[in-house]
Amino acid sequence: MAEIKLVRVDFRLIHGQVITKWMKQTNANRIIVIDDKLSKDPFMSQVYVAAAPPGVKVEMLSVDGAVASWNKNEMGNGRLLILFKNITTALETAEKGFPLEKIQIGGTGAAPGRKVVYNQITLDQADADRLGKLESAGTEVYFQTIPEQTPASLEKILKKL
């Protein structure tokens, strides 16, 4: 059975902070990106595979593929860093049965109607509602961009929205 070390929402997916900070912090040796669009895009998948540190296996899975892989053999072996590009996909994956005990919100991107709520992390009401659903279902939701920062709870963040 694989060990989930960190589940993170970060629209940039595999980038400098993930590689230099979170990979060291978690000692993960596999990165699982759960994203329906990327799982069907061999070119972009290869871009992300190339961005990973040497010796770290990267897999691009659809939501259904990730759930099936977990249900079949709990994703095999290794220490997993699971990445979602957005909160919508994370919620969908959890609702389909993927175990999300904790989820770290690290980067959501800027767009009209979104408000900065923690460091450079933005939320709109729809994403706040999705995170509320995750938390109501038993997932601990917290905000943190780098390991050196103190995590902020969803409850604290929602007061800023």
H or E stretch covering 39: helix 36-39
| pLDDT digit string, tens, across residues 24-55 | 999 999 999 999 999 999 999 999 999 998 89
Q: Total domain count for the chain?
A: 1
Q: In sequence order, what are the residues at sequence separation of 6 or more whose Cβ sits closer than 8 angstroms to the Cβ of residue 63?
A: 34, 36, 89, 92, 93, 96
Per-residue pLDDT tens over the stretch 65-123? 999 999 999 999 999 999 999 999 999 999 999 999 999 999 999 999 999 999 989 99
Q: How confident is the model at residue 19 (pLDDT cuts 50, 70, 90)?
A: confident
Q: Which pLDDT value is given to residue 123?
A: 96
Specify the CATH number for the domain of residue 74.
3.40.35.10
For the question of residue 89 being annotated catalytic, the response is no
Q: Is residue 161 predicted with pLDDT exceeding 90?
A: no
Which residue is catalytic, options 1, 15, 24, 97? 15
Domain span at residue 132 reads: 3-158
What does pTM read for this prediction? Answer: 0.95
